[in-house]
Amino acid sequence: MSNTVFSLFSGAGGCSLGFKQAGYSILYANDIDEFAGKSYSDNFPEAAFDWEDINKLDFKSILLKCRIKEGELDILVGGPPCQGFSTAGARFWEDPRNELLKSYVRALGAIKPKWFLMENVEGLLTAKNGKYLFEAAKAFIALGYKIRIEKIYAHEFGVPQRRKRVLIVGNRLGKDFNFPKPAIKLSGKIFRNSDVTLAHVIGGLPNAASSKDIVLPYIAPPEDQFEAYLRGTSGVIKEHFCPPMSEIQLQRIMALSPGQTMKDMPEHLQHESFKKRANRRVMDGTPTEKRGGSPSGLKRLIINEPCLTITGAATREFIHPTYHRPLTIRECARIQTFPDDFNFHGSASDKIQQIGNAIPPIIAKIFAEHIRDDYGFDGNISGDGGLIGYSVTKANAMSPSLKKTCALLDSLTINSPQRKIAI
């Protein structure tokens, strides 16, 4: 039997796809979003799926439904969205803004997977001066998990994108472990590396159609292995269209050369909201929902560089390097390393949100293979949790908030006794 996976906060299934590509069996998934759930069920019909608030799930019943016993699941994947990074302290677990993290910890305690992989935004590192991450780590350790916390750079793992995320990986088997080594080691101007760029993932696509009702065929055969992977097996390109633009939209786009943003436009083309956003600074630990959109507005991408981070605003703000139009849904999916035969449901807004929220499948596949091949799922449950190590920045200097985070994490050593936490 292949190794088994549950996915919580699954979204459309980027992480699940990577594990499936690595040969794992996806048994179960959950998400509260209706259209993400439809996308997931379409692409993973073999998995049981609950479209439900995680706080209402009975994990013992889920184990029974999936015919798997407590402690038998190989890995639980997915990360809870952090709702405002609430104030930590003695009443941390009573704060309703921490309900999703609380339910995630409750799931670990009930399912007792051998491994877990949790992904979150970079802001987790400095939220409330590290107290949010500290409380989460303490809870995982109290459940007997040895954990490692690192900020990863997606470009180093073959994703053509300037994407930074925090991963927490843990196991109950008493195994000391390291993260997989990046395929591309970057330093200095890390986002200028030419080995993995937009050209590799969208350069082979024809220009976008003018309507979603038009399905474009492939014309030329794949030029390389990456392109062959992205094309999947369907033989057609879906979601590769750009609706007609207004005259002012087109003028703004045509005013931008590769690498330029809103601030490089003539003043008469700059939108008022762009001006306000361009002058806003985001401080460490600012909650995600208060950050708003990207402060530079429209951006013309550079074909021989990786893309900026794909978010739910990508199809509005990211301009194609050579065509006078925004990126299409399919181009954004490719940049996130979804193959073309992966289906997304809902409106255009729903689809790009699912894509932007996803863990790039290629990264999930790398971690899936690394955990299975280098460490495995055999071993006795040790019950001794602890922090094996962490890596939170490439920079030589740290912000005051990040220094406080590191000070808190330093206290969670393997030999430090951890108090039990009622979840």
DSSP letter for 87, please: P
Which residues on neighbouring strands pair with residue 30, listed in sequence order?
8, 50
Catalytic residue among 15, 66, 82, 406: 82
- The amino acid that residue 373 corresponds to is D
Give phi and psi for 27, each to the nearest 5.
-90, -35
Distant-in-sequence, close-in-space partners of 97: CB < 8 Å, separation ≥ 6: 83, 84, 86
What span, in angstroms and rounded, lies between the C-alpha atoms of 324 and 306? 19
Residue 82 known to be catalytic? yes
Contacts 24+ apart (CB under 8 A), 293-296: 293/317, 296/261, 296/262, 296/263
Question: From residue 68, how far is each of 13, 23, 56, 129, 369 by CA, in Å?
Answer: 21, 18, 20, 39, 22
What span, in angstroms and rounded, lies between the C-alpha atoms of 420 and 423? 9
75: three-class secondary structure by DSSP = strand
237: three-class secondary structure by DSSP = strand
Question: From residue 407, how far is each of 6, 122, 131, 281, 418 by CA, in Å?
Answer: 33, 18, 10, 26, 16
Question: From residue 181, how far is each of 64, 159, 410 by CA, in Å?
Answer: 37, 14, 23
**Catalytic site residues?**
82
